[in-house]
Amino acid sequence: MLFCQITDTHIKAGRKHAYGMVDTATMLEHCVDSVMQLKQRPDVVLLTGDLVDYGRDDEYALLATLLKPLTMPMYLIPGNHDERDALRRAFPDHEYLYQWSPFIQYAIDDYPVRIIALDTLIPGQGGGRLCDERLQWLDSTLAEKPDTPTLVVMHHPPFRTGLGHMDILGLEGADALEAVISRHSQVERLACGHLHRSIQVRFGGSLASTCPSSAHQIALDLSADGPDNFVLEPPGYQLHWWDGQRLVTHTAVIGSFPGPYPFRTDGKLID
Ligand SMILES: [Fe+2]
Ligand SMILES: [Fe+2]
């Protein structure tokens, strides 16, 4: 089974560019094209937050239009730029968005790997939170199926990255989350967004990771007091392949590049 993770699409109404220069709508179109042209079509697409920029209805309407070419089931979670009710209004047929309220937390049991989505949103703030209520829901939901491999998806990553201006935002409850995860060995991965880069960290006996944005990336600067800059490195998405035993992650780069070229001709390595 193949999961595709797309994150931090940051769509703005009227295809307005983010920060005056990032054409997030066109970049999401390129991302969607790239996913649909993959030789192995993903079974599921996971969108891990910051779906739009200001949580507005007109932004979500454009997002829904841009995602239409994706023919596989999609599962959405909010990030710090999102607004729960507007997100639900824009995707009325996504019943899982209503599994629990007010938070958008849900479990999907339709696949060999169980999906559990966490809501780290604090309305109007950049940082994230997993309060006791949300963590207790996670603990009891994980306890329901201890033998089913599980992929946890959430927006704010629960670890420090070294990217100083992002670490300041942080995730309240990250230590308590680690304690919960460490009690449930079926958690194969915590797949996160928010960082606009690919990062992996050992976490609670599992692995926590972040995914590149389909649009702009956070500048790679590991100084504690570095500026909050972004760069237009090649954007990407991730494929999480369940081989029956492990979740294997590949980062795909979006764009047109030379190749592929063969290593060999007539069975011999090209010198
Ligand atoms: Fe973001
Ligand atoms: Fe974010």
- Give me 78's structure tokens: 């909010």
- Please report, rounded to a whole number, the percentage of residues in the chain having pLDDT higher than 70: 100
pTM for the whole structure: 0.98
> Tell me: the pLDDT tens digits for 121-164?
999 999 999 999 999 999 999 999 999 999 999 999 999 999 99
Nearest Cα neighbor of 211 from 60, 39, 74, 9 is 9
Beta bridge partners of 250: 239
Report residue 26's pLDDT band, with 50, 70 and 90 as the boundaries: very high
Domain spanning 2-269, CATH architecture: 4-Layer Sandwich (3.60)
Which pair of tokens denotes residue 268?
């011999």
- Which ligand gives the minimal distance to the CA of 171? 2
Instruction: Look at residue 89 in the predicted model and tell me its pLDDT.
Output: 98
pLDDT in tens, 234-256: 999 999 999 999 999 999 999 99
The pLDDT assigned to 121 comes to: 98
| CA of residue 172 to ligand 2 center, whole Å | 14
Angle at 114 between CA 236 and CA 185, to 5 degrees: 100
How far from the centroid of its chain's Cα atoms is residue 214's Cα? 10
In the reported structure, the alpha carbon of residue 26 is separated from the centroid of ligand 1 by a whole-number distance in angstroms of 16
pLDDT recorded at residue 177: 98
Outline where 6-113 has alpha helix (H): 24-36, 57-67, 84-90
pLDDT digits (tens, 9 = 90+) for 180-204: 999 999 999 999 999 999 999 999 9
Ligand nearest to the CA of 169: 2
Contact yes or no for 253/34 (Cβ under 8 A): no
Give the number of whichever ligand sits closest to the CA of residue 79.
Answer: 2
Which tens digits make up the pLDDT trace of 171-180?
A: 999 999 999 9
- Nearest-angstrom CA–CA distance, 153 and 115: 7
| Nearby residues for ligand 2 (ion, Cβ within 5 Å) | 50, 79-80, 194
The alpha-helical segments, DSSP class H, found in the chain are 24-36, 57-67, 84-90, 132-144, 164-167, 174-182
CA angle 188–180–82, rounded 5-degree value: 80
For the chain, what are the domain ranges? 2-269
Q: Region 69-80: what's the mean pLDDT?
A: 98
